[in-house]
Amino acid sequence: MSITVHRILLLDENKTPSWGIWKFGHREVTFTLKAIGLGLLISLVAVILFFISTLFEKLISSFLGGTATTIYGICVAIVILGFLGMIFSRVSLVFPAIAIDKEIDFSDAFKISKDYKLFVFVCVVVIPVIFGLLVGLVYGLAIGFLMGLISQKLSVLLSLVNIFITVFTIAFLSTTYEYVMDQEVKELHKI
């Protein structure tokens, strides 16, 4: 689904089949391997950062006590999540590129997004998370109410809401990639 959404948004109309992609080729294998690689990379960085923060938390708790440790823990968790979100948003630009058959690596995506760090972070992480939470909460409550009132079979609507949120998130990633690449092309033409 991700590859198809990226291709629909980034390529001409005749480049994407009407019913999506039905074969698992080189593009799909590369996309899947990069997704696994990104998951492993983010997990490794998260474990290292949380290990380091735990060491600092123990050090601070020995000096300042329990309340400061709680505040420190919340602040560190927010900073770590922000840092991981920044890394994730920047390197996730490989996925739209792979979907349109442009071979780039995580380091290439990092270089491409170096001048657009905050923009990419907001467009790839912040807006989709806020949108997902709002839509998921509002429609989740409404669907939960309807399930209790009418039938439990309406739970299928939750899947539809999740698909909608996923497509929206993928679309934001595609649009962000397209904008960043357009800006890079404009910069090259200035030189």
- What is the pLDDT, as a whole number, of residue 143? 81
- What is the pLDDT, as a whole number, of residue 56? 74
- What is the pLDDT, as a whole number, of residue 67? 61
- What is the pLDDT, as a whole number, of residue 20? 56
User: How many CB atoms sit inside 10 A of residue 11's CB?
Assistant: 13
User: How many CB atoms sit inside 10 A of residue 114's CB?
Assistant: 10
For residue 114 the two structure tokens come to 């170096």
- What is the pLDDT, as a whole number, of residue 120? 93
The candidate with the shortest Cα–Cα distance to 176, out of 93, 67, 61, 65, is 93
d(CA 185, CA 112): 11
Q: What is the pTM of this model?
A: 0.78
Q: Are the CB atoms for 98 and 27 separated by under 8 Å?
A: yes
Three-state DSSP class for residue 18: coil
Show pLDDT as tens, one digit a residue, over the chain (191 residues): 787 788 788 887 766 665 655 667 778 888 888 899 889 988 998 888 888 877 777 776 677 666 666 677 777 778 888 888 998 999 999 999 888 888 888 888 888 888 899 999 999 999 999 999 998 888 888 888 887 888 877 778 888 888 888 899 999 999 999 999 888 888 777 76
